[in-house]
Amino acid sequence: METIYLNRENLATWQEKARPNVMALGCFDGLHLGHCKVIETALQKAKTRNISLALMSFFPHPKTVLSCGKEQVNYLMPLGEKEERLRKLGVDTFYIVTFDEEFAALSPGQFVASYLINLGSVHAVAGFDFSYGCKGAGHMDRLKNDSRGIVDVTKVEKVEHHGEKISSTCIREKLLKGDVNELYDLLGRSYEVKCDWDGNSFELLPYYTLPASGRYAVTLKNEMKSMQTEVIVMKKQGVQSLKCVIEIPPFMEGRLSIVWHRHIPEEKVQIHDERVLSY
């Protein structure tokens, strides 16, 4: 898979190099089951046409730019992890578009012409609520007209769990409430973050979000080993930190993944701690 950081300075260069493709569109933060449905649909369209599958994402998150920095987004995964997962999902070209005020000001027609037609897209696939162009005026029902009939369009309908739309916003809300046990059904996997462990403290890597303060059952793993344990998320002066309830073996030092399984209610924590102290 080729990853291309796209901005107005290099756009023309990549337009000249573009080949016919099916383009999946969205922010794709967290790559939840709704996102996977969009990608799977686009992949089938690409196979039918015997052309490549491209995917376009945007960074930083549009909400941050459109709010002039007043609204900060709690990212679910960094671009590097997104890149690894997209490669496994069959994406051939991963476009990461710099989302800035100039890009946000493009009309729907300008976006379609510059970022779809001129990048070789003959078919666009996105979720039912995807919008584009200035103030989000463009939507999937008008995209074919905006492309003057050049780009075919597939709108992927809402993916739900228990009647609730699966979305990155929903996942962030559950994460910030500590409801990590509910995330598997939305992500198709347990929520996972990466950090560095130096034998004394955890340092969370950028663009991951920790759950709410509390105690959690987790799996710590590196390339060689894994261990099940519990960690405590603490917050002091607005800064979150992590502490493991047991001593972590030396062989776990370095880059670790933390797989979050469930939140442990406070009353169970107290019972567990009393039993530990009684020995």
Using omega within 30 degrees of 0 as the cis cutoff, is the peptide bond preceding 108 cis? no
pLDDT above 50: residue 278: no
Could you give the CA distance from residue 185 to residue 155 in angstroms, rounded to a whole number?
23
Q: State the span(s) of the chain assigned CATH 3.40.50.620.
A: 2-157
Reported as a pLDDT band with limits 50, 70 and 90, residue 171 is: very high
- Name the CATH code of domain 177-278 (choices 3.30.70, 3.90.550, 2.40.30, 3.30.1490): 2.40.30
Mean pLDDT of 252-275: 77
| Chain center to CA of 251 | 30
Element (H, E) at 52: strand 52-59
b/e burial code for range 137-167 (CB count within 10 A of at least 16 → b): ebbbebbeebbeeebbbbbbeebeeeeeebb
In 3D space, the residue among 159, 249, 157 whose CA is nearest the CA of residue 199 turns out to be 249
Reported as a pLDDT band with limits 50, 70 and 90, residue 275 is: very low
pLDDT above 60: residue 1: yes
pLDDT at 276: 39
Residues in CB range of 267: below 8 A, 6 or more apart: none
Hey, how many other C-beta atoms are within 10 angstroms of the C-beta on 256?
20
Q: Edge to edge, what strands does the sheet with 226-236 contain?
A: 202-204, 191-197, 254-264, 214-221, 226-236, 239-244
Per-residue pLDDT tens for 9-35?
999 999 999 999 999 999 999 999 999
What tokens does 78 get?
């960094």
Reported as a pLDDT band with limits 50, 70 and 90, residue 268 is: low
When the pLDDT of each residue in the chain is averaged and rounded to a whole number, the result is 93
pLDDT above 80: residue 96: yes
Asked if 263 and 215 count as a contact pair (C-beta separation under 8 A), the reply is yes
What's the residue count for the chain?
Answer: 279
- Name the CATH code of domain 2-157 (choices 3.90.1750.10, 3.40.50.620, 3.40.190.10, 3.40.50.300): 3.40.50.620
pLDDT above 50: residue 272: no
Helix, coil or strand: residue 25: strand
Mean pLDDT of 24-50: 97
The residue written with tokens 């037609």 in the block is 117
Residues in CB range of 26: below 8 A, 6 or more apart: 35, 38, 56, 57, 126, 127, 130
Per-residue pLDDT tens for 208-262?
999 999 999 999 999 989 999 999 999 888 889 999 999 999 999 999 999 999 9
Q: State the span(s) of the chain assigned CATH 2.40.30.
A: 177-278
